[in-house]
Amino acid sequence: MKYKNIIFDYGNTIAAFEPRDIIKKFGIKDEQKITLLCDKAFDRKYWDKLDIGTLSQEDFIKNVKAELPHALHNVAEQICNGWINRLPYIDGIEKLIERLKNDGFKLYILSNISKHFSQNRKETGIFKMFDGLVFSAEISMVKPDRNIFEYILNKYSLVPEETVFIDDNADNINAANRLNIKAYLFDGNADKAEAFIYGLL
Protein backbone atom coordinates (compact mmCIF):
# COMPACT_ATOMS: atom_id res chain seq x y z
CA MET A 1 0.00 0.00 0.00
CA LYS A 2 1.63 3.24 -1.15
CA TYR A 3 -0.27 5.56 1.18
CA LYS A 4 0.16 4.79 4.87
CA ASN A 5 -0.52 8.07 6.67
CA ILE A 6 -3.54 10.36 6.76
CA ILE A 7 -3.22 13.87 8.19
CA PHE A 8 -6.47 15.64 9.02
CA ASP A 9 -7.14 19.27 9.68
CA TYR A 10 -9.52 19.74 12.63
CA GLY A 11 -11.85 22.72 12.18
CA ASN A 12 -14.36 22.15 9.37
CA THR A 13 -12.69 18.87 8.50
CA ILE A 14 -13.29 16.78 11.62
CA ALA A 15 -15.45 19.20 13.60
CA ALA A 16 -17.87 21.77 12.21
CA PHE A 17 -16.71 25.27 13.14
CA GLU A 18 -19.58 27.69 12.57
CA PRO A 19 -19.37 30.70 14.93
CA ARG A 20 -23.04 31.66 14.68
CA ASP A 21 -24.13 28.12 15.52
CA ILE A 22 -21.69 28.03 18.44
CA ILE A 23 -23.05 31.27 19.87
CA LYS A 24 -26.64 30.02 19.63
CA LYS A 25 -25.66 27.04 21.79
CA PHE A 26 -25.02 29.49 24.64
CA GLY A 27 -28.68 30.49 24.61
CA ILE A 28 -28.36 33.66 22.55
CA LYS A 29 -31.35 34.08 20.25
CA ASP A 30 -31.34 37.76 19.37
CA GLU A 31 -29.82 38.09 15.89
CA GLN A 32 -28.20 41.44 16.65
CA LYS A 33 -26.42 40.01 19.68
CA ILE A 34 -25.39 36.92 17.74
CA THR A 35 -23.85 39.06 15.01
CA LEU A 36 -22.06 41.30 17.52
CA LEU A 37 -20.66 38.38 19.50
CA CYS A 38 -19.65 36.62 16.31
CA ASP A 39 -17.82 39.70 15.02
CA LYS A 40 -15.93 40.26 18.27
CA ALA A 41 -15.36 36.82 19.80
CA PHE A 42 -14.32 35.23 16.51
CA ASP A 43 -12.42 38.14 14.99
CA ARG A 44 -9.38 36.94 13.00
CA LYS A 45 -7.30 39.77 14.49
CA TYR A 46 -7.43 37.76 17.71
CA TRP A 47 -7.71 34.23 16.35
CA ASP A 48 -4.66 34.53 14.12
CA LYS A 49 -2.63 35.46 17.20
CA LEU A 50 -4.21 32.67 19.23
CA ASP A 51 -3.36 30.19 16.49
CA ILE A 52 0.31 31.11 16.46
CA GLY A 53 0.46 31.39 20.25
CA THR A 54 1.26 35.09 20.67
CA LEU A 55 -1.99 36.00 22.46
CA SER A 56 -2.91 34.47 25.81
CA GLN A 57 -6.41 33.25 26.53
CA GLU A 58 -6.72 35.82 29.32
CA ASP A 59 -5.79 38.74 27.06
CA PHE A 60 -8.08 37.42 24.34
CA ILE A 61 -11.07 37.49 26.69
CA LYS A 62 -10.12 40.92 28.05
CA ASN A 63 -9.85 42.36 24.53
CA VAL A 64 -13.16 40.86 23.40
CA LYS A 65 -14.95 42.22 26.47
CA ALA A 66 -13.52 45.68 25.81
CA GLU A 67 -15.31 45.74 22.47
CA LEU A 68 -18.68 44.67 23.85
CA PRO A 69 -21.36 46.25 26.04
CA HIS A 70 -21.14 45.20 29.68
CA ALA A 71 -24.36 43.20 29.44
CA LEU A 72 -22.62 40.75 27.08
CA HIS A 73 -19.41 40.30 29.06
CA ASN A 74 -20.45 37.15 30.92
CA VAL A 75 -21.71 35.30 27.87
CA ALA A 76 -18.72 36.48 25.84
CA GLU A 77 -16.38 34.94 28.40
CA GLN A 78 -18.42 31.73 28.35
CA ILE A 79 -18.14 31.62 24.56
CA CYS A 80 -14.41 32.34 24.53
CA ASN A 81 -13.76 29.58 27.06
CA GLY A 82 -16.43 27.09 26.08
CA TRP A 83 -16.52 27.00 22.28
CA ILE A 84 -14.21 23.97 22.26
CA ASN A 85 -16.96 21.84 23.77
CA ARG A 86 -19.63 23.00 21.33
CA LEU A 87 -18.21 21.71 18.04
CA PRO A 88 -20.19 18.85 16.49
CA TYR A 89 -18.35 16.36 14.33
CA ILE A 90 -18.84 16.52 10.56
CA ASP A 91 -21.43 13.96 9.45
CA GLY A 92 -19.73 10.66 8.67
CA ILE A 93 -16.24 11.70 9.74
CA GLU A 94 -16.08 9.50 12.84
CA LYS A 95 -17.05 6.49 10.74
CA LEU A 96 -14.35 7.31 8.20
CA ILE A 97 -11.66 7.76 10.85
CA GLU A 98 -12.65 4.46 12.46
CA ARG A 99 -12.47 2.67 9.10
CA LEU A 100 -9.06 4.14 8.31
CA LYS A 101 -7.77 3.12 11.73
CA ASN A 102 -9.09 -0.41 11.38
CA ASP A 103 -7.50 -0.67 7.94
CA GLY A 104 -4.08 0.08 9.36
CA PHE A 105 -3.53 3.71 8.40
CA LYS A 106 -1.57 5.95 10.75
CA LEU A 107 -3.70 8.98 11.58
CA TYR A 108 -2.63 12.50 12.54
CA ILE A 109 -4.15 15.93 13.18
CA LEU A 110 -2.47 19.12 11.98
CA SER A 111 -4.49 22.15 13.02
CA ASN A 112 -4.15 25.91 13.32
CA ILE A 113 -5.63 26.22 16.78
CA SER A 114 -5.07 27.90 20.14
CA LYS A 115 -3.31 26.63 23.24
CA HIS A 116 -6.66 26.87 24.99
CA PHE A 117 -7.95 24.13 22.71
CA SER A 118 -4.88 21.93 22.88
CA GLN A 119 -4.66 22.21 26.66
CA ASN A 120 -8.35 21.54 27.26
CA ARG A 121 -9.20 18.91 24.67
CA LYS A 122 -10.46 15.67 26.08
CA GLU A 123 -8.04 12.75 25.99
CA THR A 124 -10.94 10.53 25.04
CA GLY A 125 -13.25 10.09 22.12
CA ILE A 126 -11.99 10.81 18.64
CA PHE A 127 -8.50 11.90 19.74
CA LYS A 128 -7.76 8.37 20.93
CA MET A 129 -7.92 7.26 17.30
CA PHE A 130 -4.93 9.39 16.29
CA ASP A 131 -1.26 8.48 16.35
CA GLY A 132 -0.08 12.08 16.60
CA LEU A 133 -1.38 15.60 17.11
CA VAL A 134 0.22 18.89 16.07
CA PHE A 135 -1.45 22.13 17.13
CA SER A 136 -0.06 25.39 15.77
CA ALA A 137 0.01 27.51 18.94
CA GLU A 138 2.16 24.93 20.74
CA ILE A 139 4.95 25.27 18.18
CA SER A 140 4.44 28.88 16.97
CA MET A 141 3.87 27.85 13.36
CA VAL A 142 0.71 27.98 11.29
CA LYS A 143 -0.48 26.55 8.00
CA PRO A 144 0.17 27.21 5.16
CA ASP A 145 3.76 27.83 6.31
CA ARG A 146 5.97 25.11 4.83
CA ASN A 147 7.70 24.74 8.20
CA ILE A 148 4.66 23.34 9.98
CA PHE A 149 4.27 20.61 7.36
CA GLU A 150 7.95 19.75 7.62
CA TYR A 151 7.54 19.73 11.39
CA ILE A 152 4.84 17.05 11.41
CA LEU A 153 6.67 14.99 8.80
CA ASN A 154 9.87 15.06 10.86
CA LYS A 155 8.19 14.60 14.23
CA TYR A 156 6.49 11.37 13.19
CA SER A 157 9.00 10.22 10.52
CA LEU A 158 6.42 10.44 7.74
CA VAL A 159 7.37 10.02 4.08
CA PRO A 160 5.56 12.73 2.06
CA GLU A 161 4.86 10.39 -0.86
CA GLU A 162 3.16 7.97 1.55
CA THR A 163 0.99 10.66 3.14
CA VAL A 164 -2.48 12.07 2.41
CA PHE A 165 -3.52 15.46 3.79
CA ILE A 166 -7.17 16.50 4.18
CA ASP A 167 -8.04 20.15 4.78
CA ASP A 168 -10.80 22.60 3.89
CA ASN A 169 -8.43 25.46 2.99
CA ALA A 170 -7.04 25.66 -0.56
CA ASP A 171 -3.86 27.49 0.52
CA ASN A 172 -3.05 24.65 2.91
CA ILE A 173 -3.72 22.09 0.20
CA ASN A 174 -1.34 23.86 -2.17
CA ALA A 175 1.35 24.02 0.51
CA ALA A 176 1.07 20.28 1.12
CA ASN A 177 1.20 19.52 -2.59
CA ARG A 178 4.46 21.45 -2.89
CA LEU A 179 5.99 18.97 -0.44
CA ASN A 180 4.78 15.98 -2.47
CA ILE A 181 2.01 15.19 0.00
CA LYS A 182 -1.16 13.98 -1.68
CA ALA A 183 -3.70 16.60 -0.64
CA TYR A 184 -7.49 16.65 -0.77
CA LEU A 185 -9.64 19.78 -0.45
CA PHE A 186 -12.42 18.78 1.93
CA ASP A 187 -15.88 20.15 1.13
CA GLY A 188 -17.75 18.79 4.14
CA ASN A 189 -18.66 15.48 2.53
CA ALA A 190 -17.01 12.58 4.37
CA ASP A 191 -18.19 10.05 1.79
CA LYS A 192 -16.35 11.89 -0.99
CA ALA A 193 -13.21 12.07 1.13
CA GLU A 194 -13.46 8.35 1.78
CA ALA A 195 -13.85 7.63 -1.95
CA PHE A 196 -10.80 9.79 -2.67
CA ILE A 197 -8.59 8.02 -0.14
CA TYR A 198 -9.61 4.51 -1.07
CA GLY A 199 -9.45 5.40 -4.74
CA LEU A 200 -5.71 5.92 -4.29
CA LEU A 201 -5.11 2.32 -3.22
Domain spans in the chain, listed from the N-terminal domain onward: 5-15+89-199, 19-85
Amino acid 198: pLDDT: 96
β-pair partners for 106: 5
pLDDT tens-place string over residues 39-62 = 999 999 999 999 999 999 999 999
Amino acid 201: pLDDT: 82
Dihedral-angle region of residue 188 (phi above 0 means left; psi in -120 to 50 means alpha; beta otherwise): left
Question: Which of 83-87, 119-123, 134-138, 174-178 has the lowest average pLDDT?
Answer: 119-123
Residue 85 has pLDDT above 90, yes or no: no
| CB-side neighbour CA atoms (13 Å) of 63 | 17
Dihedral sign (CA 64, 65, 71, 75): positive
Of the options 3.40.50.1000, 3.40.50.300, 3.30.470.20, 3.40.50.920, the CATH number for the domain spanning 5-15+89-199: 3.40.50.1000
pLDDT tens-place string over residues 139-190 = 999 999 999 999 999 999 999 999 999 999 999 999 999 999 999 999 999 9
C-alpha to C-alpha distance for 201 and 182, rounded to whole angstroms: 12
Q: What is the DSSP letter of 88?
A: P
Amino acid 122: pLDDT: 57
β-pair partners for 89: 15
Alpha-carbon separation of residue 2 from 109, 129, 181, 192 (angstroms): 20, 21, 12, 20
Residue 121 has pLDDT above 90, yes or no: no
Which helix or strand (DSSP H or E) is residue 134 part of? Answer: strand 132-135
Amino acid 74: pLDDT: 97
C-alpha to C-alpha distance for 83 and 17, rounded to whole angstroms: 9
C-alpha to C-alpha distance for 70 and 76, rounded to whole angstroms: 10
% of the chain beyond a pLDDT of 70: 98
For residue 88, cis peptide bond before it (omega within 30 degrees of 0): no
What confidence category does residue 65 fall into, taking pLDDT thresholds of 50, 70 and 90? very high
Residues with Cβ < 8 Å from 81, sequence gap 6 or more?
Answer: 57, 61, 116
For range 66-91, the mean pLDDT: 95
Average pLDDT, the chain: 95
